[in-house]
């Protein structure tokens, strides 16, 4: 938990979000500025700032993130999707708490 992190605040329910799924390690919620008909964010509850900061300790958590992504997609009949992770500011990352973007349908603009 990092106090000035917007996703940590969403995880702690200090900020509202449209939650699709949640378990002890993960939360999935709708992107507030959707770039596709389906645009969700899959977020580990552990505060990890960037992809470059993932460690061996996080291996299981990262695998879990993908399993949850797959399950949530399947449960919502999303059978074709794109996963994006922006890794670093110059790559487009603006929220420094790692997350996967799940997009389905026609993509409008840059993610
Ligand atoms: P990135 O640029 O990869 O760091 O993605 C951050 C994403 O978080 C953007 O697509 C934003 O639209 C989204 N976002 C920012 N604030 C919120 C929020 N309060 N609730 C939901 N999504 C958000
Ligand atoms: Zn955070």
Task: Judge contact between 36 and 30, C-beta under 8 A.
Answer: no
Mutational test site, ligand 1, from 42, 94, 98, max ligand atoms within 8 Å of CB: 94
Contact 37, 77 (CB under 8 A): no
Average pLDDT over residues 87-111: 97
| Domain edges within the chain | 6-95
Give the pLDDT of residue 1: 84
Measured by CA distance, the residue closest to atom 6 of ligand 1 is 95
DSSP 13-25: TSS---EEEE-SS
User: Residues with Cβ within 5 Å of ion ligand 2?
Assistant: 2, 5, 7-8, 47, 97
**CATH class for the region spanning 6-95:** alpha beta
Residue 83 in contact with ligand 1 by CB distance below 6 A = no
Q: Identify the pLDDT of residue 13.
A: 97
- Cα 104 to Cα 41: distance, rounded to the nearest angstrom: 12
Percent of the chain past pLDDT 70, that is, above it, reads 100
- Span of 1-5, 36-40, 55-59 with lowest mean pLDDT: 1-5
Report the nearest-CA residue for atom 18 of ligand 1.
32
Per-chain mean pLDDT for the chain = 97
């Amino acid at each position: 938990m990092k106090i000035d992190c917007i996703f940590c605040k969403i995880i702690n329910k200090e900020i509202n979000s449209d939650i699709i799924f949640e378990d002890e390690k993960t939360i999935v919620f709708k992107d507030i500025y959707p770039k596709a008909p389906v645009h969700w964010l899959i977020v580990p509850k552990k505060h990890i700032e960037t992809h470059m900061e993932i460690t061996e300790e996080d291996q299981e958590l990262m695998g879990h993130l993908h399993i949850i992504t797959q399950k949530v997609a399947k449960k919502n009949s999303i059978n074709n999707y794109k996963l994006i992770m922006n890794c670093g500011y110059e790559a487009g990352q603006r929220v420094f708490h790692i997350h996967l973007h799940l997009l389905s349908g026609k993509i409008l603009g840059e993610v």
